[in-house]
């Protein structure tokens, strides 16, 4: 490959300037001429029949333009199951479900009108525990499940009415495997509900043109084409009648794909005579009524030999999906599949159940279920290692997937950088150094500033420990990305790509790839704003798929343009096309670079000064097939796999139960770092989120299903004081199909984090904690319990 | 009930009319049209809405318009020094301090407040000063580095 000029370089972000000056316009900032202000009335009941709704008083309130209920919006949506009404229809299924909405001249008026809506409910029994809701004979939360429109692979299970997906993996014979084992261990792990908590709350603007019936939606949605598809199916409108315009997005982490606020904004816009409606959820509303991460209960049983080989592993996983399916069926499939971990195991059995409950809706969250699986599997690995008397690293190295292995779902693996991530992550925290913590003053700079001691006072009973955990993450497969590249007669490029800049830096790396193919300076490249009327199709900005899929599409579009320029330039330079080279915005003769034309000059001469040259590119990962429904097997379950290992050194205060992370390494196999600065940023951001979910994040619900901590005061995100020294490590194990060898990186950053910390805490205390988060209270009681009953 | 408010906004004398109960954050974003100041929570818990009121950083979501007569306000749109970016803004660009960028304006205002008072902060002091400004994207490492780099730049410029 010719030498890379801009790919692989730490280019500063293209969007940084507008973000530091406050010029960047996000969805939440948008003001439309003549717009109305929307507000929503939420259900106060976890499960109830709506006996009566009276909106008359609200409708008569001065300044109110529209008041609507489920009757005015007879539509449902959902990625794989069309189970979610725009507004509750006939019944409510969780506290926080939208029941009615108002559009008014200003927010105060809309708020006042809400109070005038009367709703009468008749309570129904509520399920708050996914295991309970899963039991045979449970009362259905969705009575009409069988008649919902849904993807083919989803079937109703009469005995288990609240199960919206049951994933099965069957490899070998676990019974035989357990009989052959010399040691068997069985455990239960759990992960609570957490929330994405992107700093920009959810919002949507919508307008319906009364003359043409065309619907326009302005929303920071990370999958505008999927949203378009879902909206078109829900409304029964052709796609051409719907347009999504994407302002900037202030973070999403999986919460802003699919439809959230959009359906309500659209439903209101049908009743405002063409005036646009702005519907913003405040922070509390975002907490209770948008999306959460699945609470998960995982049972895992493993059989091993004394030499450390794993004979069999069986898992049963309950994914609490809340009141509506959202992306749960695919979360259940794609993360139950690799939940037994990246290890060679002959006999594997997994049953994953996505289960409706009367709680806020769960769906995609950065990592797509892999973090929950890793919390169980990776701690379980350490528990096995300790019973075998093996070092956890050695035990893993003996069993991990390596190049050419066939996974337990029947796929031959390539580009497996797992071992390298493991060695590097371990080394970075001086794994194996017995005198743990030596060389690291546990209080470091804290002692100099005791008032900043981040809550840990020096006291007796401080213990340190180290732990690590690894993951393998698939990506959504098969999918398609398409892109366009335009070049003007000044030699400036515009890239049209449907990947959404959600903070991950896609605009910068896609521009880098386009610049690389044409060898133009990066400051000559611009990303086109996102609008489904103009931008070519892209499946979604999810699943860490963009660098690979959209990268390939952009690259192809740029090559398409480059070929066209070469064709045009050849006669101008009196040379053959093959004898031309590109460099610094010019096309020149390979052997005589001093003979050249600028790209802009070529276009101007051939097409005139105002013309624009266009190129197109499309990429589909073709081989990916659906999994076999009975065995869960597939020869190509994922376009590529991401591998990572993280290692933590912790300090635990036995008197308070407080855990402090001293340092944490994170080694990620990215295939090829298109932009190392960006890769490090993704790893650090992922780690911070992972540490938050390990130590304090938990959306707490009371025994009625009401969220008790819907604010940043009570829902504890990691602050600048909570985070340790982070050691990001980039590993590059080339993916042959990826652009320049790249894979993906967005999600894995937080996936092994809690398990690595859990292992370090167990190493420090000799006590194992199976439930997240590791709050001081939980750790303290585990220590007390451990004192009476040593593990 | 609208009230007349006279204030200095980013160096310019401004006269406005707004209900006394209108929050400063909403006044800036919805009525004046300066949307650089962000809303993350509306309850004083995230720092995204930080602006300078009479020289001190405040959460604009906790201030009522009625309190503003005669006040001097600086928002992110007024952080530039003439046409030049402030050294903190430059350092955020250079070091990758902004990812989604939603917390960035508040973060920058808070960082400026710190450096105004303490031109040579330690890492711990920076962490402490920014602990009321939440960021869900970065893990803060790049933000802290940017503040350190900006501090160095400001100190050097003072010596030049
Ligand atoms: S919006 Fe003011 S502190 Fe969060
Ligand atoms: S950069 Fe996204 S919240 Fe800080």
A412, A635 Cβ separation under 8 angstroms: yes
E strand or H helix at B83: none
Mean pLDDT per block of 10 residues along chain A (791 residues) reads: 89 97 98 97 98 98 98 96 98 98 97 98 97 93 96 89 97 98 98 98 98 98 97 98 98 96 98 98 98 98 98 98 97 97 98 98 98 98 98 98 98 97 98 59 40 50 95 95 98 98 97 98 97 98 97 98 98 97 97 97 97 97 78 94 98 95 97 98 98 98 98 97 96 97 97 98 96 98 80 45
Spatial separation of the C-alpha atoms in residues A387 and A399, rounded to whole Å: 16
| Cα A301 to middle of ligand 2, angstroms | 40
- Which ligand neighbours the alpha carbon of A720 most closely? 2
E strand or H helix at A603: helix A599-607
The long-range contacts involving B110-114, CB below 8 angstroms and separated by at least 24 positions, are B110/B47, B110/B50, B110/B57, B111/B143, B111/B146, B111/B147, B111/B150, B112/B52, B112/B57, B112/B79, B112/B86, B112/B88, B113/B52, B113/B56, B113/B57, B114/B147
Both tokens of A354, joined, read 């996505």
Angle at A734 between CA A728 and CA A738, to 5 degrees: 105
User: Of A513, A255, A515, whose CA–CA distance to A365 is shortest?
Assistant: A255
**Residue after which a domain boundary falls, among B78, B109, B134:** B78
- Whether B20 and B64 map to the same domain: the answer is yes
Both tokens of A617, joined, read 């590119």
E strand or H helix at A550: helix A546-572
SS3 content of chain B, % helix, strand, coil (to 5): 40, 20, 40
Residues 6+ positions from A660 with CB-CB distance below 8 Å: A442, A454, A456, A650, A651, A652, A653, A724
- Three-class secondary structure of residue A244 per DSSP: strand
Q: Which of B30, B38, B45 to mutate to test the pocket of ligand 1 (most atoms within 8 A of CB)?
A: B45
Beta bridge pairs of residue A362:
A292
Task: Please identify which residue in the block is written with the tokens 């070529």.
Answer: A602
N- to C-terminal Cα separation, chain B: 53
| Cα B49 to middle of ligand 1, angstroms | 5
B102, B122 Cβ separation under 8 angstroms: no
- Which ligand neighbours the alpha carbon of B28 most closely? 1
Q: What is the pLDDT of residue A446?
A: 39
Backbone angles phi, psi at A618, to 5 degrees: -145, 145
B48, B133 Cβ separation under 8 angstroms: yes
Q: Which domains does chain A have, with CATH numbers?
A: 16-24+479-620 (3.30.365.10), 31-126+200-250+256-289 (3.90.1170.50), 417-473+639-788 (3.30.365.10)
Q: Closest partner residue to B41 among A448, A503, A712, by Cβ?
A: A712
Spatial separation of the C-alpha atoms in residues A555 and A374, rounded to whole Å: 34
- Whether B6 and B74 map to the same domain: the answer is yes
Distance from CA of A125 to the nearest CA of B (A): 33
- pLDDT single digits (tens) A691-714: 999 999 999 999 999 999 999 999
- Whether B101 and B133 map to the same domain: the answer is yes
Q: Do B136 and A201 touch (CB under 8 A)?
A: no
Assess whether the C-beta atom of B136 lies below 6 angstroms from ligand 2.
yes
β-pairing, A277-280 vs A36-42, is parallel
Q: How many structural domains does chain B have?
A: 2
- The domain that holds B137 is classified in CATH as 1.10.150.120
Q: Tell me which of B141, B144, B149 to substitute to probe the interface with A (most A C-beta atoms closer than 10 Å).
A: B141
Q: Find chain B residues with C-beta within 8 A of A723's C-beta.
A: 139-141
- Whether B91 and B145 map to the same domain: the answer is yes
**Residue after which a domain boundary falls, among B38, B60, B78:** B78
Q: Do B142 and A684 touch (CB under 8 A)?
A: yes
- Whether B153 and B99 map to the same domain: the answer is yes
Backbone angles phi, psi at A408, to 5 degrees: -70, -5
Q: What chain A residue is nearest to B36 in terms of C-alpha separation?
A: A22
Q: In what order do the strands lie in the sheet with B56-59?
A: B12-19, B2-9, B72-74, B50-53, B56-59
- Whether B7 and B66 map to the same domain: the answer is yes
Backbone angles phi, psi at A377, to 5 degrees: -65, -45
A408-440: burial string, b at 16+ Cβ within 10 Å, e else: bbbbebebbbbbbbbbbbbebbbbeeeebbeeb
- Whether B67 and B101 map to the same domain: the answer is no
- Whether B47 and B106 map to the same domain: the answer is no
- Three-class secondary structure of residue A232 per DSSP: helix
- pLDDT single digits (tens) A324-343: 999 999 999 999 999 999 99
| Cα A699 to middle of ligand 1, angstroms | 20
Q: What is the pLDDT of residue A459?
A: 52
E-only strand ranges, A336-418? 347-356
- The domain that holds B15 is classified in CATH as 3.10.20.30
- Whether B48 and B96 map to the same domain: the answer is no
Q: What is the pLDDT of residue A137?
A: 87
- Whether B91 and B65 map to the same domain: the answer is no
- Whether B155 and B98 map to the same domain: the answer is yes
Q: Please count the residues of chain B.
A: 160
Q: Do A681 and B99 touch (CB under 8 A)?
A: yes
Residue B99: which domain range? 87-159
- Which ligand neighbours the alpha carbon of A199 most closely? 2
Per-window interface: A 200-259 vs B, CB < 8 A: 200-201, 248-251, 253
**Residue after which a domain boundary falls, among B51, B78, B105:** B78
Q: What is the pLDDT of residue A461?
A: 86
Beta bridge pairs of residue A663:
A649, A725
Spatial separation of the C-alpha atoms in residues A199 and A449, rounded to whole Å: 30
Both tokens of A369, joined, read 């279920």
User: Of A295, A354, A351, A329, whose CA–CA distance to A141 is shortest?
Assistant: A354
A746, A475 Cβ separation under 8 angstroms: no
User: Which regions of chain B are under pLDDT 70?
Assistant: none
What is the largest distance, in Å, between two alpha-carbon atoms of chain A?
88
- Whether B100 and B73 map to the same domain: the answer is no
Spatial separation of the C-alpha atoms in residues B49 and B28, rounded to whole Å: 10
**DSSP state at residue B23:** B
Assess whether the C-beta atom of B134 lies below 6 angstroms from ligand 2.
no
E strand or H helix at A282: none
Q: Closest partner residue to A20 among B45, B85, B125, by Cβ?
A: B85
Angle at A419 between CA A414 and CA A421, to 5 degrees: 105
Q: Do B45 and A711 touch (CB under 8 A)?
A: yes
Q: Residue A781: is it exposed, middle or buried by C-beta count within 10 angstroms (0-12/13-18/19+)? A: middle
DSSP secondary structure string, A513-535?
HHHHHHT--GGGEEEPPEETTTS
């Amino acid at each position: 490959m010719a030498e890379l000029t801009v790919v692989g370089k730490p280019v500063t972000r293209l969007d940084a300037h507008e973000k530091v000056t406050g010029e960047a316009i996000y969805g939440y900032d948008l003001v439309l001429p003549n717009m109305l202000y929307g507000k929503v009335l939420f259900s106060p009941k976890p499960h109830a029949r709506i006996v009566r709704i009276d909106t008359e008083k609200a409708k008569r309130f001065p300044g109110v333009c529209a008041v609507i209920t489920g009757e005015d919006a007879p539509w449902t949506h959902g990625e794989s199951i069309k189970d979610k009404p725009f507004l509750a229809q006939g019944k409510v299924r969780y506290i926080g479900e939208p029941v009615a909405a108002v559009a008014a001249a200003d927010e105060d008026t809309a708020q006042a009108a809400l109070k005038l809506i009367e709703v009468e409910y008749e309570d129904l029994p509520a399920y708050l525990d996914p295991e309970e809701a899963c039991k045979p004979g449970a009362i259905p939360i969705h009575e009409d499940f069988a008649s919902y429109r849904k993807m083919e692979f989803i079937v109703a299970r009469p005995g288990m009415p609240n199960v919206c997906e049951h994933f099965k993996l069957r490899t070998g014979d676990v019974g035989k495997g357990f009989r052959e084992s010399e040691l068997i261990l069985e455990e239960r792990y759990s992960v609570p509900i957490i929330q994405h908590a992107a700093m920009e709350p959810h919002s949507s603007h919508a307008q319906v043109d009364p003359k043409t019936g065309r619907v326009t939606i302005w929303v920071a949605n990370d999958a505008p084409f999927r949203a378009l598809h879902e909206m078109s199916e829900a409304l029964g409108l052709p796609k051409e009648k719907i347009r999504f315009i994407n302002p900037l997005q202030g973070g999403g982490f999986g919460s802003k794909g699919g439809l959230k606020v959009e359906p309500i904004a659209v439903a209101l816009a049908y009743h405002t005579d063409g005036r646009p409606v702005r519907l913003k959820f405040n922070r509390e509303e975002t907490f209770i009524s948008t999306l959460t991460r699945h609470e998960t209960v995982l049972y895992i049983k493993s059989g091993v030999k004394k030499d450390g080989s794993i004979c069999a592993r069986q898992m049963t996983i309950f994914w609490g999906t809340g009141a509506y399916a959202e992306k749960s069926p695919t979360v259940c499939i794609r993360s139950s599949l690799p939940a037994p971990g990246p290890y060679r195991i002959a006999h594997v059995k997994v049953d994953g159940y996505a289960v409706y409950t009367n709680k806020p809706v769960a769906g995609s969250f950065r990592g797509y279920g892999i973090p929950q699986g890793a919390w169980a599997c990776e701690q379980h690995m350490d528990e096995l290692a300790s019973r075998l008397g093996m070092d956890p690293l050695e035990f893993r190295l003996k069993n991990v997937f390596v190049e050419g292995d066939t996974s337990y779902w029947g796929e031959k693996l390539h580009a497996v950088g797992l071992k390298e991530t493991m060695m590097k992550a371990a080394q970075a925290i001086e794994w194996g150094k017995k005198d743990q913590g030596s060389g690291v003053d546990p209080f470091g700079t804290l002692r100099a500033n005791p008032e900043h001691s981040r809550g840990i006072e020096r006291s007796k009973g401080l213990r340190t420990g180290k732990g690590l955990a690894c993951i393998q993450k698939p990506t959504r497969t098969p999918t398609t990305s398409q892109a366009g590249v335009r070049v003007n007669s000044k030699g400036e490029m515009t890239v049209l790509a449907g990947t959404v800049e959600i903070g991950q830096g896609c605009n910068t790396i896609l521009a880098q790839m386009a610049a690389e193919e044409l060898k133009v300076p990066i400051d000559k490249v611009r990303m086109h704003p996102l609008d489904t009327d103009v931008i070519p199709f892209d499946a979604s900005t999810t699943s860490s798929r963009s660098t690979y899929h959209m990268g390939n599409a952009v690259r192809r579009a740029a090559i398409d343009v480059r070929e066209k320029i070469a064709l045009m330039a050849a006669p101008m330079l009196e040379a053959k096309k093959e004898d031309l080279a590109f460099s610094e915005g010019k096309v020149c003769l390979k052997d005589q670079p001093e003979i050249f034309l600028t790209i802009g000059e070529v276009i101007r001469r051939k097409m005139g000064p105002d013309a624009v040259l266009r190129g197109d590119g499309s990429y589909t990962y073709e081989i990916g097939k659906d999994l076999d429904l009975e065995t869960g097997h597939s020869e190509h379950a994922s376009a590529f796999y991401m591998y990572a290992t993280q290692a933590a050194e912790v300090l635990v205060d036995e008197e308070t139960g407080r855990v402090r992370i001293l340092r944490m390494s994170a080694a990620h196999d990215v295939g090829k770092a298109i932009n190392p600065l960006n890769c490090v940023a993704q790893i650090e951001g992922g780690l911070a989120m992972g540490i938050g979910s390990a130590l304090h994040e938990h959306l707490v619900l009371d025994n009625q299903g009401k969220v008790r901590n819907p604010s940043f005061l009570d829902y504890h995100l990691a602050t600048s004081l909570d985070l340790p020294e982070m050691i990001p490590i980039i590993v590059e194990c080339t993916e042959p199909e990826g652009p320049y060898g790249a894979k993906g990186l967005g999600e894995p950053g937080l996936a092994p984090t809690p398990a690595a910390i859990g292992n370090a805490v167990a190493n420090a205390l000799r006590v194992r904690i199976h439930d997240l988060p590791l709050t001081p209270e939980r750790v303290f009681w585990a220590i007390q319990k451990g004192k009476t009953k040593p593990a | 009930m609208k009230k007349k408010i006279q204030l200095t906004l980013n160096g310019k004398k401004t006269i406005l009319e707004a209900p006394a109960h209108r929050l400063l954050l909403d006044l800036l974003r919805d009525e004046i049209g300066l949307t650089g100041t962000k809303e993350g929570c509306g309850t004083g818990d995230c720092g995204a809405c930080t602006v300078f009121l009479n020289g001190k950083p405040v959460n604009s979501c906790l201030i009522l318009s009625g309190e503003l007569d005669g006040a001097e306000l600086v928002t992110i749109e007024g952080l530039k020094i003439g046409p030049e970016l402030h050294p903190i803004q430059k350092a955020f660009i250079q070091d990758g301090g902004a990812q989604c960028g939603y917390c960035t304006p508040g973060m920058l205002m808070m960082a400026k407040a710190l450096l105004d008072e303490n031109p040579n902060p330690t890492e711990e002091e920076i962490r402490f000063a920014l602990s009321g400004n939440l960021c869900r994207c970065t893990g803060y490492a790049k933000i802290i580095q940017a503040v350190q780099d900006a501090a160095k730049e400001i100190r050097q410029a003072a010596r030049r």
